[in-house]
Amino acid sequence: MHAVDSRGRISLHPPADSPLAAQIATAPRGSLAALLDFTDVAATAVRDRVRARVTVSGWLTPQEPGRIDGRLRLDTARVTLRTAAGAAEVGLDEVALAEPDPLAVEEAAMLTHLADAHGELMAELAVRAGSRLPPGVLRTAPFALDRRGITLRCEYRRGHCDLRFPFPSEVRDPMEAGEQVRRLLTAPRCAHPHATEARSRAAN
């Protein structure tokens, strides 16, 4: 239904019977105000699986001027990112220059593999956070994985918190990510000074 090119530009490919093309053709300026919402959901079965929401607003126009074949282009005017830390406006230049994370395509499979086959290792990694991990954890699961690190979701009876473990260096592919996770598990606990509690809803 949609695609994003290397410059962060969004195009829509609605069904042939969609009324969008006709609405744009009869619009006063030949474009239609639009608001697109994207939701990033964790691949693993954890509480509160929504990791982020992105809202993109702008104007829909035909992909090629003068042609009405159902392919539409969004001329972006504003991008808003909402995470557990709050909402932030993202500059259009930042969107255009952003590079896809090399783990994005494989992340879901890697997270589910870690959760299904290596749950005890994820719990061990959480313990390495030391005093940064509040007591009373009932379950630990991988929550997010990108080129810069891995995030664990630690669940309690009445809430949860997220722990971020940065990699020593950015990874370029899934193989490197697997190796970096193994290094985190074998390194001394003092090697993780930046493991932080990113979000907490645990009740005392």
Q: Other CB atoms closer than 10 Å to residue 154's CB: what's the count?
A: 27
Residue, of 56 and 69, whose pLDDT is higher: 56
Provide mean pLDDT across the span 70-90: 93
Max distance between CA atoms of the chain, in angstroms, equals: 65
DSSP 138-164: -EEEEEEEETTEEEEEEE-SS-EEEEE
Distance CA 87, CA 83 (A): 6
Q: What is the pLDDT of residue 197?
A: 46
Strand bridging mode 160-166 / 196-200:
antiparallel
pLDDT in tens, 127-151: 888 877 888 899 999 999 999 999 9
* Lowest mean pLDDT, pick from 64-78, 79-93, 98-112: 64-78
Split at pLDDT 50, 70, 90, the class of 153 is very high
Q: What is the pLDDT of residue 76?
A: 95
Whole-model pTM? 0.83
Q: What is the pLDDT of residue 30?
A: 82
